[in-house]
Structure 1
């Protein structure tokens, strides 16, 4: 059985500037909805396409020398790519920060928790 290599750590760019990401979660809602109709089978018979949405939850380390105003981020492009060689880049366009919270603890670096909404997604 051959060994497989998996995607590991990623790098996050926001409008060309790199940020140290601790955690990233991407939620893609396809917008598809079930169409319920009255019929003799008593089941739904199909679906319709709605509006796609992308929500990104990011936890990043707060750099001492570049305190970014995350709450003001609008229309940004977030690009995610593997830190090692190879792998596919993904970009989320027209991102808007909808919430930002800071987290401080004794044992860890200061962190910022961010939620973004993105209007577009492309694989490069």
Structure 2
């Protein structure tokens, strides 16, 4: 397991996630992910594995449809650092572009058919 540190663009939100090494990413074709265009971690993290270190008060949440998934974004810079998933409520995927030491454009990309859920 490895600890990755992450933040939004402006640094108001800082977090860490304990994860197997991240060597690939996931793109989803659901309506919000298609518009965000972010590359997400392939792993889904428990609340214990994703720790918000600072800036929780700067997080806003967007929900639609069933309201199960929670898409978090920074109120200051608008960046999406992570979301709670539809398939496993209360668990998270992380925006790979927000993690230090990873280059999203160099990772293998898997496609997830979220549109069909």
TM-score by length of 2: 0.29
Select the structure of larger CA radius of gyration: 1
TM-score by length of 1: 0.28
Structure with bigger strand share is: 1
Higher RCO (CA 8 Å, separation ≥ 6 residues) = 2
